[in-house]
Structure 1
Amino acid sequence: MFLDVLRRRNPRLIEATIALHQAGKIPANTYVIDLDSVEANARTVATEANRLGLKAFAMTKQMGRNADFCGAIIRGGIGASVNVDMECARATRRAGMAIGHLGHLVQIPRAEADAAASFAPAYWTVFNDEKASEAARATAPLGRVQSMLARIQTPGDTFYRGHEGGFDAAEVTAVADRIDAMEGGRFAGITTFPALLFEQASRKVVPTGNLATLHAAAEALARAGRSDIEINAPGTNSSTVLKAVADAGATQIEPGHGLTGTTPLHAVEDLPELPAVVYVSEISHYHGSDAFCFGGGLYIDPVFPDYEVKAIVSREPTAAESALRTVEIPPPAAIDYYGMIDASSGRRPAVGDSVVFGFRPQAFVTRAYTCGVSDVASGSPKAGTIHDAFGRPADWPL
């Protein structure tokens, strides 16, 4: 989906990836991140967020919590992370980011509450009284009070299947009172997900009913004397949509794909953020007229309808149309050991050729490596440390 955009807007990243892969600096099955573009993208988002008075927390799971990626985000002006789980928090903390937000989308397991509290997150989202009590109990012995965000919902709100949960929005004032009554806890505000979604029909980012739920809950809290609250409104956050969430009353945003120029809107419009990630593999063997390339990170985000997957296949650095090949990748229910490249016509690719895709990634749910690359635009790119999908330096090549 993003390969056409990459070829047009950041072809040097494709070329740099092939050069570094062929030089043995980057393994097959790696998401390659243009660190300079990420830094510029983060600065674009941070500048607009600051202009609108929004707090920005970076979501790093899409890039496998890569430490060099986190560093580029920090240099771009976003110093705190939102963490989808505790592994996310551990990785971003190791990388030098402050822990801005924990517990959303994934609640903190009971046995990890003490560890979560020790990270001193700025905000901790809870879905029910039990989770709020766990957070407060873990925090109180540390001599601090934990600011909590209540995840709220009302009938008709939009959720991805498996993401559901939260307090009844109609009871938000009582929820706030109960959290405030907990030793070690403080009600700080409300959150939902997703507040914005990409709409295929209009090819626009539009607010969901969840954003209206946040607005109505904020009004109820204000009537109860709670006007100074945080309103966390994540979902498809990039610089061009921030005014819409600010106008709706939001105080916090959480860019993820916006930092790599891979939100759905980036696929159909040229936004300020540059596309900044590719996936590289290499040809392993042939079966009939198909050239097989290594998998492990062949991830198609279900936000898009089915489309023809293509890749650049070459041993020499290029982003040319002549190097494009059609690729079949295994369905989501299968293990992506290999992708199958149609080699029935044109130049026959050779074993060892680089294969470069333009995915919208979620590296943390794959078996892929990640690697940050600097100085892409200069034509003399440098590969950083190879990380695994959990943000840890990988034992590669040894």
Structure 2
Amino acid sequence: MFLDVLRRRNPAFIEAAMALHQQGKIPANAYVLDLDTVERNARTLSEEAHRLGLKIFAMTKQVGRSSSFCQAVKRGGIDRSVAVDMACARATHNAGLKVAHLGHLQQIARHEAAAAARTFEPEFWTVFNDTKAAEAAAGAKQAGYRQDLLARIRAEGDTFYRGHEGGFDANDVVAVADRLDALDGGRFAGITTFPALLFDHETRKVLPTHNLATLTKAAEALARAGRRGVEVNAPGTNSSVMLASLAQAGATQCEPGNGLHGTTALHVMEDLPELPAILYLTEVSHLSGGKAYCFGGGFYIDPIFPDYHVRAIVGAEPTTTAALRSVEIPPPSAIDYYAMIDATGPNAPKPGDTAVFGFRGQAFVTRAYVVGVSGISKGTPKVKTIENGFGETASWPV
């Protein structure tokens, strides 16, 4: 699905990645990042966020918390990250980004709270209940500061992905704010949810969710209670073209992730300011039964999309205009040791050929390498980093 957008809007990226792989500089089973384009996208998002008065934090999980990605985002004007879990916090902190938001989507385990406060001193820390709020506050007190806490809230009619549920009752938000303010080492700073925006298949647009209305109503209740300067954190499907609607709804914070590499669902439907800057690259291993088997480990078909025809560019020479082949990818219930590429007809794939896919990736949940490449926009591509999904340098080729 994203391969068509890649071929049309960033063909030089595909050709550079294929050439580097054939030169032995990029491993098979790798998410490859066009760092020049990431920097450009970050600047587009950053400038729009600043124009609207929004704080902007980078989400890095989709690209495996790549250190070179973090640095490209920083050069583009975003110097703070949101950490979806402690692994994200460690990786982005080590890469030189300030951890601005911790605890959302995943809460911090009890015996990690003190270390998280001491090491990262996050600007904001999301909590789902009073116990987690007390743990965060205690950690901050031990580290010598007072922690700004965001209350994750929920209301009837809100949308949560299965396994993402949790939070305070939005109807009790004023009392929740008072309780968080009473904590020794903590204070109430604002409210959050996820997702605030969501792609709608019927209209093929990104629309506000009921969650965003819940945030707006809760902020109004807090204002009536005399609270000022309440932070409203509203993540989900952020492109620069969507930020104005968040600001209009009262949001004060946004957290682009897929938008930084041009792969939100809306980027498939419309040519948005952000260009595609990520692809999945692997290599043909062997032939069997009319299929070319390519190395797996990083296949990720995002469940936000209905089933679609998966294709790859396959060949030994850099190209975007030919060599398109149909691909069968094992179901999520199977281990993706290989995917099967159609090997019938002329110019059939052969072992060693490069295979390029366009995925809306979640590299951190795969076994793939993450490779940052700079200089593509100048015609001088160079591999900057080869890392695992935790932003750590990979031992490759051995």
Q: Shared fold by TM > 0.5?
A: yes
SS state of the match for residue 69, structure 1? helix
Aligned partners of 1:127, 1:266: CA distance in 2, in Å? Answer: 32
Kept after mapping to 2: 8 A contact 1:38/1:260: yes
SS state of the match for residue 377, structure 2? coil
- What amino acid is aligned across from residue 92 of structure 1 in structure 2? T
Aligned partners of 1:302, 1:13: CA distance in 2, in Å? Answer: 26
| Structure 1 residue runs without a partner (length 5+) | none
Kept after mapping to 2: 8 A contact 1:197/1:207: yes
* Segments of 4+ moved more than 6 angstroms: none
Q: What is aligned with 1:376?
A: 376
Aligned partners of 1:301, 1:266: CA distance in 2, in Å? Answer: 14
Aligned partners of 2:15, 2:315: CA distance in 1, in Å? Answer: 10
Aligned partners of 2:241, 2:3: CA distance in 1, in Å? Answer: 22
Q: Deviations for 1:318-357, whole angstroms, at most 9, x for unmatched residues?
A: 111x210000001111111001001112211110000000
Q: What is aligned with 1:291?
A: 292
- What amino acid is aligned across from residue 54 of structure 2 in structure 1? L
Aligned partners of 1:75, 1:376: CA distance in 2, in Å? Answer: 16
SS state of the match for residue 376, structure 2? coil
Q: Deviations for 1:183-239, whole angstroms, at most 9, x for unmatched residues?
A: 000100000000000001111000000000001100110011112100000000110
Kept after mapping to 2: 8 A contact 1:151/1:192: yes
Q: What is aligned with 2:194?
A: 193
Aligned partners of 2:382, 2:238: CA distance in 1, in Å? Answer: 29
Q: What are the within-5 Å matches in structure 2 for residues 224-373 of structure 1? A: 224-320=225-321, 322-373=322-373
Q: Deviations for 1:130-162, whole angstroms, at most 9, x for unmatched residues?
A: 000000111112221000000000011000000
- What amino acid is aligned across from residue 206 of structure 2 in structure 1? V
Aligned partners of 2:285, 2:144: CA distance in 1, in Å? Answer: 57
Aligned partners of 1:346, 1:291: CA distance in 2, in Å? Answer: 13
Aligned partners of 1:204, 1:300: CA distance in 2, in Å? Answer: 20
Q: Aligned Cα RMSD in Å?
A: 0.6
Q: What is aligned with 1:51?
A: 51
SS state of the match for residue 191, structure 2? strand
Do residues 140 (structure 1) and 131 (structure 2) align? no
Aligned partners of 2:251, 2:111: CA distance in 1, in Å? Answer: 32
Q: What are the within-5 Å matches in structure 2 for residues 150-169 of structure 1? A: 150-169=151-170
Which stretch has the larger CA shift, 383-392 or 242-251? 383-392
Kept after mapping to 2: 8 A contact 1:196/1:211: yes
Aligned partners of 1:385, 1:244: CA distance in 2, in Å? Answer: 36
- What amino acid is aligned across from residue 298 of structure 1 in structure 2? F
Aligned partners of 1:130, 1:375: CA distance in 2, in Å? Answer: 48
Q: What is aligned with 1:82?
A: 82
Cα shift at 1:380: 2.3
Q: Deviations for 1:259-313, whole angstroms, at most 9, x for unmatched residues?
A: 0000000011000000000110000001110000000001001111100000000
Do residues 184 (structure 1) and 185 (structure 2) align? yes
Do residues 215 (structure 1) and 216 (structure 2) align? yes
Aligned partners of 1:106, 1:310: CA distance in 2, in Å? Answer: 34
Q: How many residues align?
A: 397
Q: What is aligned with 1:61?
A: 61
Cα shift at 1:81: 0.3
- What amino acid is aligned across from residue 189 of structure 1 in structure 2? G
Q: What is aligned with 2:115?
A: 115
- What amino acid is aligned across from residue 193 of structure 2 in structure 1? T
- What amino acid is aligned across from residue 133 of structure 2 in structure 1? A
Residue identity over aligned pairs, in percent, reads 67
Aligned partners of 2:84, 2:210: CA distance in 1, in Å? Answer: 23
Aligned partners of 1:377, 1:121: CA distance in 2, in Å? Answer: 35
Q: Could you state the TM-score of these two structures normalised by the residue count of structure 1?
A: 0.99
- What amino acid is aligned across from residue 300 of structure 1 in structure 2? I
- What amino acid is aligned across from residue 258 of structure 2 in structure 1? H
Kept after mapping to 2: 8 A contact 1:218/1:227: no
Aligned partners of 1:346, 1:84: CA distance in 2, in Å? Answer: 46
Q: Could you state the TM-score of these two structures normalised by the residue count of structure 2?
A: 0.99
Q: Deviations for 1:342-397, whole angstroms, at most 9, x for unmatched residues?
A: 11122111100000000000000000000110111233210112000111000112
SS state of the match for residue 313, structure 1? strand
SS state of the match for residue 15, structure 1? helix
